[in-house]
């Protein structure tokens, strides 16, 4: 017999894929329908961080962990000011929350942001289907729209390949960022609840961060490493950035296809050699294009916080957080100038590179994690060391 949670009557919901595959389940979140590229994420924790990652713009996310919603939602776990996913797919969705940090239930959070969700479907079957045929366009409907119409709408959606989404999710004007990481081990009844005490030393390294869809935990970690952070819109010119006299430039993660973002590639080329550059995810792909390489679309992408990556410089293996659907082709990079530094141990794809003579390095994965392990936090120290070395 089902427990009290699933005995409550629920609205029906439908997931329709462009190839005609239909999944029927129960509805949560907003009463509406949304379409996008359907991908799966294998993270065991951190669903709110996933929902608010701007790199998921234009995508419907299936979480493979079976029970979602039980810790509710709060402001501290946001990676942006709102969710960017089009819709959510889960196996079991909790209508209640039980966590001392919860400010509202996941149901209220999704409803407030007008995000539909479908649950009580066979997510394993969906994931196996995507792995076999590749990422597909789909529509999630919680408003009763017939499945035949949803399939038709899914087929009309634009392919992720060729979409320039970075400028759509980027900030509209430049701003400064001052918040450091939050210490989660401090209980709410402690007088010192809030941001943990950090070294009060005045930041000496000015970093200009390009916002192609930047996650807030990246900014927090830059502050943790004593950087003075200034965030600029995606289309800010290289000269405007150089006029700020930065010690280093950071290129953020973001959604969509890197190849249409020609303005960013040109900016990187103009800054190359003039200032230290560190790129993550989309920023890594843009570095690859700026260095003369090419990118390609992965079959179903890398999404999750348990991907093994080997650092070829020290042979160590890092368990990493990833969220990307495109990759830099290492064979397209000029070997005389570029060295591959990291490789994905699941499929052998390029996960990191550096310029052999100029101060530039980048990684495909997310060293800031959130959610995910902290194996790769050292890259932020590497960036600050590069800036200090360049300043001498």
DSSP 273-298: TTS-EEEETHHHHHHHHHTT--EEEE
- Taking phi over 0 as left and psi of -120 to 50 as alpha, with beta for the rest, 148 belongs to alpha
- Active-site option among 86, 225, 227, 281: 281
- Active-site option among 129, 284, 324, 366: 366
Q: Give average pLDDT by consecutive 10-residue segment, the chain, 392 residues.
A: 53 97 98 98 96 98 97 95 97 94 96 98 98 97 97 98 97 96 57 43 84 97 96 98 98 98 98 98 98 98 97 97 97 97 98 98 96 93 96 82
377 preceded by a cis bond (ω within 30 of 0): no
Which pLDDT value is given to residue 200? 56
User: Buried (b) or exposed (e) across 299-333, using 16+ Cβ within 10 A?
Assistant: ebbbbbbebebbbeeeeeebbbbbbbbbbbebebb
What is the set of domains in the chain, with CATH numbers? 9-156 (3.50.30.20), 166-391 (3.40.50.880)
- Has 287 been annotated as catalytic? no
> Which DSSP letter does residue 331 get?
G
**In whole angstroms, how far apart are CA 293 and each of 163, 334, 337, 354, 375?**
19, 7, 11, 13, 28
Which pLDDT value is given to residue 193? 35
- Has 327 been annotated as catalytic? no
Which pLDDT value is given to residue 391? 84
Measured in residues, the chain has a length of 392
Which pLDDT value is given to residue 66? 95
Would you tell me how many other CB atoms lie within 10 Å of the CB of residue 64? 18
Please give the helix or strand (H or E) that residue 362 lies within, else none. strand 360-363
Contact present, 291 and 337 (Cβ < 8 Å):
yes
- Has 368 been annotated as catalytic? yes
Per the DSSP assignment, residues forming a β-bridge with 210 are 232, 251
**In whole angstroms, how far apart are CA 183 and each of 141, 162, 187, 190?**
39, 40, 10, 12
Please give the helix or strand (H or E) that residue 148 lies within, else none. helix 147-156
Global confidence as pTM: 0.93
3-state secondary structure 29-70: ECCCEEEEEEEEECCCCCHHHHHCCHHHCCEEEEECCCEECC
């Amino acid at each position: 017999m089902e427990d009290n949670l699933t005995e409550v009557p629920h609205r029906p919901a439908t997931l329709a894929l462009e190839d005609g595959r239909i999944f029927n389940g129960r509805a949560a979140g907003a009463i509406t329908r949304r379409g996008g590229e359907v991908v799966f994420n294998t993270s065991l924790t951190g669903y709110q961080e996933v929902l608010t990652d701007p790199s998921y713009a234009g995508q419907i996310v299936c979480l493979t962990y079976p029970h979602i919603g039980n810790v509710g939602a709060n402001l501290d776990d946001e990676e942006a000011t709102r969710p960017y996913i089009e819709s959510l797919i889960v196996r079991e969705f909790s209508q209640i929350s039980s966590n001392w940090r919860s400010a509202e239930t996941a149901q209220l959070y999704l409803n407030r942001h007008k995000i539909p969700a479908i649950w009580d479907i066979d997510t394993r079957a969906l994931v196996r289907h995507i792995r076999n045929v590749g990422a597909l366009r789909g529509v999630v409907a919680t408003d009763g729209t017939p499945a035949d119409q949803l399939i038709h709408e899914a087929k009309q959606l634009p392919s992720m390949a060729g979409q320039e989404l970075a400028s759509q999710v980027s900030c509209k004007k430049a701003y400064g960022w001052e918040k450091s990481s939050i210490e989660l081990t401090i209980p709410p009844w402690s007088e010192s609840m809030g941001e943990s005490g950090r070294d009060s030393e005045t930041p000496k390294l000015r970093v200009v961060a390009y916002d192609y869809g930047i996650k807030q935990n990246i900014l927090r970690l830059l502050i943790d490493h004593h950087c003075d952070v200034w965030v600029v819109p995606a289309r800010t010119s290289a000269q405007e950035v150089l006029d700020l006299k930065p010690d280093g430039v950071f290129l953020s993660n973001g959604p969509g296809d890197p190849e249409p973002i020609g303005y960013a590639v040109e900016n990187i080329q103009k800054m190359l050699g003039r200032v230290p550059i560190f790129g993550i995810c989309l920023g890594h792909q843009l570095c690859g294009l700026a260095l003369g390489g090419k990118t390609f679309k992965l079959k179903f992408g890398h999404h999750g916080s348990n991907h093994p990556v080997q650092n070829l410089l020290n042979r160590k293996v890092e368990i990493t957080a990833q969220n990307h659907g495109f990759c830099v082709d290492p064979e397209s990079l000029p070997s005389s100038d570029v060295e591959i530094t990291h490789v994905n141990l699941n499929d052998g794809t390029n996960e990191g590179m550096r310029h052999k003579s100029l101060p530039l390095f980048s990684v495909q994965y997310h060293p800031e994690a959130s959610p995910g392990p902290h194996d790769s936090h050292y890259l932020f120290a590497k960036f600050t060391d590069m800036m200090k070395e360049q300043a001498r």
